[in-house]
Amino acid sequence: MADIRDVEVIAPNFKRRLSGVTSTIIQLIPIQRALGQKIAVLGPGLPDTLPSIRFSDLLRLWKAPEGRRRRVWHARRNVEMLPAIILRDLLRMKLKIVFTSASQRRHTGWSKFLIGRMDAVIATSGKTAAYLDVPNDVILHGIDTRRFRPPIDSGQAKTALGVDPAQKFVGCFGRVRRQKGTDLFVDSMIALLPCRPGWSAIVAGRATGPHVAFENELKERVARAGLSDRILFVGEHTNIPDWYRGLDLFVAPQRWEGFGLTPLEAMATGVPVVATDVGAFSELVVGGSAETGTIVPVDNLQAMVEATAAFMDDERRRAAAGANGLSRTSTSFAIEGEAAAINAVYERLMR
């Protein structure tokens, strides 16, 4: 438990279920603290390893931390903006409020009301920024390049996963549901694998609730195509970096995405990417002389098949794009850069 007197930034998490926002908080806080930011979390659903404060500590926010005029409250959801506005505007506590927006759609009137009362707004991509009516800082997400790194030996990486080291693998990772385009990936593989015996596919991720029937239908589709031994549904894994290291190509087939870290995770592992034009994918994956992969139109099966085939059939192109992706993530998308940029927003407000 952190001492509120030493906390300059509060990162609330008012959603108990694990989500992308929660994962972002869990990954960023230790890096921000390592860079010197006195930050602590507030709320449920977070590991005990993170420094945290109690809700009772909020009664002490009338007094600013030593050497500062204000604290910063960093909200990432509507439910976290509203309490901060009450604390700052009604109770006159010494707070500045930051909101991070990842939405790529027009905000509701209520959301616009809340966002309009922020002291600073961070957009997670240029596309997200276009939907904001207030000044903002664009700070793209980064990833932990120490966790996501290329394998020393590709064959050994595959063997450790229990898959055939003689095969090349194309992967699709994330929750199994229509929004994530898992069916587009499966249909692409059904079209591509029969005439490419050296390739197999991996679907890694979990189907929950109503999406279980969707996953079962996909498995039946694969069985009817006679590809159950080559399109593998491996479920959800905590060692997901190891599964990236077993890949030769990655496909991100989403129909909608707020940001989407999977292309970055693949690129950091030296794996080329085929991704749809959603979220921040077009800002992450580049073509041309520094190609790291290909962007295809949303919900376009034929375009996905053609782009994926072009990489599957060209080993030199895969190697070059993988090397470019590794270089791009290490120089532009390491999580330390994201943490430093967010810390700079805090410092601007506290000054």
Which CATH number is 304's domain given? 3.40.50.2000
Q: What is the pLDDT of residue 19?
A: 72
| Cα separation, 79 vs 6, whole angstroms | 25
51 & 200 share domain? no
55 & 27 share domain? yes
Q: What is the pLDDT of residue 330?
A: 92
- Are 143 and 333 a contacting pair, CB within 8 Å? yes
Range of the domain at 99: 4-142+334-350
31 & 110 share domain? yes
Contacts of range 42-48, beta carbons closer than 8 Å, 24 or more positions apart = 42/10, 42/11, 42/12, 42/13, 43/12, 43/13, 43/14, 43/15, 44/13, 44/14, 44/16, 45/13, 45/15, 45/16, 45/17, 45/18, 46/13, 46/22
How many structural domains compose the chain?
Answer: 2
Determine which helix (DSSP H) or strand (DSSP E) holds 78, and give its type and residue range: helix 78-85
197 Cβ contact partners less than 8 Å away, ≥ 6 residues apart: none
Strands in 168-173's sheet, in edge-to-edge order, are 231-235, 199-204, 168-173, 249-252, 273-276, 293-296
Q: What is the pLDDT of residue 328?
A: 94
Phi and psi at 46, nearest 5°, equal -120, 150
| Cα separation, 11 vs 97, whole angstroms | 10
| Cα separation, 59 vs 93, whole angstroms | 9
147 located within any domain: no
Strands in 71-75's sheet, in edge-to-edge order, are 39-42, 9-12, 71-75, 95-101, 120-123, 137-138
Phi and psi at 149, nearest 5°, equal -145, 155
Reading the chain (351 residues) residue by residue, the pLDDT tens digits are 899 999 999 999 998 776 778 888 999 999 999 999 999 999 998 999 999 999 999 999 999 999 999 999 999 999 999 999 999 999 999 999 999 998 888 888 999 999 999 999 999 999 899 999 999 999 999 999 999 999 999 999 999 999 999 999 999 999 999 999 999 999 999 999 999 999 999 999 999 899 999 999 999 999 999 999 999 999 988 899 999 999 999 999 999 888 888 999 999 999 999 999 998 899 999 888 789 999 999 999 999 999 999 999 999 999 999 999 999 999 999 999 999 999 999 999 998
103 & 226 share domain? no
Q: What is the pLDDT of residue 214?
A: 95
Q: Strand, coil or helix: what is 207?
A: coil
Q: Strand, coil or helix: what is 123?
A: strand
- Are 299 and 277 a contacting pair, CB within 8 Å? no
Q: What is the pLDDT of residue 18?
A: 66
148 located within any domain: no
Six-digit token string for 16 = 């108990």
173 & 309 share domain? yes
| Cα separation, 247 vs 201, whole angstroms | 9
212 located within any domain: yes
DSSP state of 6: G
189 & 316 share domain? yes
pTM (two decimals): 0.86
